[in-house]
């Protein structure tokens, strides 16, 4: 697959971790058969800006999310598998087991991705979540 240059665009990011979807600027591009999204999030004035990179590897049914901000982590999602990650927080490192139900990859009419998973922190209170990122067609604000 040939590489496409990164395009600036607007995304809508949805997560069960937040009540409202977030519209944010970012980039999307192809790198060696991988789709790579980058964006920033800031949900309130008390948190610093968080930078995200989502790498989708369709032929491996895998997604990798790197997060740098108040919390830093590198989380690997593999459809039908459990993986382990460490989230570095102001309270110290938290080990989590990620049980990925499915990953919907971009293609056809979908210009984005969706990941359904459960996070099981070492505290033992599993958190179920569906995360999605969707590219918006209107890019006038960029």
Residue 63 in domain: yes
Residue 140 in domain: no
Residue of higher predicted confidence among 2 and 111 = 111
Residue 73 in domain: yes
- pLDDT tens digits, 26-83: 999 988 889 999 999 987 788 789 999 999 999 999 999 999 998 899 999 999 999 9
Residue 141 in domain: no
Q: How confident is the model at residue 1 (pLDDT cuts 50, 70, 90)?
A: very low
Q: Which residue's structure tokens are 């080990």?
A: 95
pTM: 0.88
Classify the phi-psi angles of 61: left when phi > 0, otherwise alpha if psi is within -120 to 50, otherwise beta: left
pLDDT of residue 102 exceeding 90, the answer is yes
Q: How many whole angstroms separate alpha carbon 110 and alpha carbon 106?
A: 5
Structural contact between residues 43 and 70, judged by C-beta atoms closer than 8 angstroms: no
Structural contact between residues 32 and 20, judged by C-beta atoms closer than 8 angstroms: no
Residue 9 in domain: yes
Residue 16 phi, psi dihedral angles, 5° rounding = -65, -10
Residues spanned by the domain of 39: 4-135
Q: Which residue's structure tokens are 């740098």?
A: 68
Residue 23 in domain: yes
Q: What's the CATH code of the domain at 24?
A: 2.40.128.20
Residue 13 in domain: yes
Task: Count up the domains in the chain and report the number.
Answer: 1
């Amino acid at each position: 697959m040939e590489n496409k240059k990164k395009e600036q665009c607007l995304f809508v990011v949805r997560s069960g971790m937040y009540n409202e979807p977030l519209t944010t600027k970012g980039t999307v591009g192809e790198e060696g058969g991988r789709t790579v999204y980058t964006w920033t999030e800031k949900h309130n004035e008390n948190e610093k800006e968080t930078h995200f990179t989502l790498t989708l590897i369709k032929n491996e049914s895998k997604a990798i999310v790197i997060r740098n901000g108040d919390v830093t982590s590198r989380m690997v999602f593999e459809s039908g598998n459990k993986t382990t990650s460490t989230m570095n927080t102001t309270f110290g490192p938290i080990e989590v087991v990620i049980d990925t139900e499915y990953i919907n990859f971009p293609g056809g009419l979908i210009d984005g991705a969706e990941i359904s998973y459960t996070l099981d922190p070492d505290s033992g209170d599993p958190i179920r979540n569906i995360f999605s990122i969707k590219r918006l067609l209107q890019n006038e604000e960029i």
